Amino acid sequence: MSLKQHGKARAHTNIALIKYWGKADESLIIPMNNSISVTLDKFYTETEVTFNPEYKQDRLVLNGQEVTDDEATKIYRFMDLVRERGNTSMYAHIESVNFVPTAAGLASSASAYAALSAACNVALNLNLSDTALSRLARRGSGSACRSIFGGFSEWNKGYDDETSYAHSIDANGWENDLSMIFVVINNKSKKISSRSGMSHTRQTSRFYQYWLDHVDDDISDVKDAIHNKNFNKLGEVIEENGLRMHATNLGSQPPFTYLVPESYQAMEIVHQCREAGFPGYFTMDAGPNVKILTEKKNQDYIINALLKTFREDQIIASDITQTSIEIIK
Ligand code: 2P0
């Protein structure tokens, strides 16, 4: 009889519409504020995990290549947490594949930790509910707790490990009318991870309190807009929230920014499309890429407008998926 235990799962990545930016507890990954995201159809991770009493250490293979860097160390620390939950000392071999179309740089820790958590849930028969799974994924990477759910997802900040997790927001099928366009901007400048960026900002930004003072209103405005299927209202709030997050970075000491001239070019095109009666609204994360939320009926117009400035391989459109985490047999 084999003592190996095995599980495989798929999780889609998510993009925050109301941003998670700053932690109240860095070790448990408890955020300073609630956040809301959409889960994307086109970008996902499939992860297979095998626990075996004969393994001498954890091992990570990503897209067919063995990984031994800091990212792997972070994952092995997460696996210690999983072993604690599963009451086992077995090491694991993890094989993960990121499904990200053509352009590089869009792989996400959100889909990675969501898929890994779900695969471990199966392998070790942890019987975790979606809420418990969301809490576990959060310990790997905060945004991962939102990737347990499809559609619109809200991460309730909570105040401790038990109370900090995501849930899905019922949008009554509105997701089917929406899509997100990615403008992939290659940037040579040195990358500041979201983890260190948000920590530096939380500790030093002159604008951080302002961010906290407004985010709850944004959350409730977004929920109202989803409830009423009011696209323009949703867009106005998310665009402002995203820019406010980037403003906190500029208020840090020393200041920094993730945005580059091409990011502003893409934002300007979005504005022009709006003026022409084809509304889309942008949001940016811990990098220069611009993501545009739009209604599907206006997607082609916006893509064509972007193609006057950007190459075809820099533009990727994705539907919003309503599919939650999936177990693969
Ligand atoms: C988010 N971003 O809500 C925010 C908004 C970017 C901007 O990348 O430290 O990888 O692992 O909890 O979840 C969130 O960064 O950070 C993030 P950790 P995470 O998606």
For 215-273, what is each residue's pLDDT tens digit? 999 999 999 999 999 999 999 999 999 999 999 999 999 999 999 999 999 999 999 99
* Domain map (residue ranges) of the chain: 5-173, 177-319
If you measure from the C-alpha of residue 280 to the centroid of ligand 1, how many angstroms do you get, rounded to a whole number?
23
- Calculate the average pLDDT of the chain: 95
Q: In the structure encoding, which two tokens stand for residue 103, read together?
A: 């352009």
If one residue of 14, 17, 20 were mutated to test the ligand 1 pocket, choosing by the most ligand atoms within 8 A of its CB, it would be: 20
Which atom of ligand 1 is nearest the CA belonging to 195?
9
Whose CA is closest to 142, among 243, 249, 287, 26?
Answer: 26
Which atom of ligand 1 is nearest the CA belonging to 108?
10
Check if CATH label 3.40.50.720 holds for domain 5-173.
no
What pLDDT is attached to residue 2?
A: 63
What pLDDT is attached to residue 106?
A: 75
Q: In the structure encoding, which two tokens stand for residue 59, read together?
A: 């091992």
Q: Is 241 in the pocket of ligand 1 (CB under 6 A)?
A: no
Q: Is 286 in the pocket of ligand 1 (CB under 6 A)?
A: yes
Q: Is 143 in the pocket of ligand 1 (CB under 6 A)?
A: yes
> For residues 76 and 54, what is the distance between their CA atoms, to the nearest angstrom?
17
Task: With residue 89 as reference, give the H or E element that holds it.
Answer: none
Task: Kindly indicate whether the ipTM for this predicted assembly is greater than 0.95, answering yes or no.
Answer: yes
Check if CATH label 3.20.20.10 holds for domain 177-319.
no
Query: Nearest 5°: CA angle at 196, between 98 and 254?
Result: 140
Write out the chain's pLDDT in tens, 329 residues: 567 899 999 999 999 999 999 999 999 999 999 999 999 999 999 999 999 999 999 999 999 999 999 889 999 999 999 999 999 999 999 999 999 865 546 778 999 999 999 999 999 999 999 999 999 999 999 999 999 999 999 999 999 999 999 999 999 999 999 999 999 997 665 689 999 999 999 999 999 999 999 999 999 999 999 999 999 999 999 999 999 999 999 999 999 999 999 999 999 999 999 999 999 999 999 999 999 999 999 999 999 999 999 999 999 999 999 999 999 99
Task: With residue 154 as reference, give the H or E element that holds it.
Answer: strand 152-156
**Inter-residue contact 16 to 151 (CB < 8 Å):** no
Closest CA to ligand 1's atom 12: 142
Closest CA to ligand 1's atom 6: 285
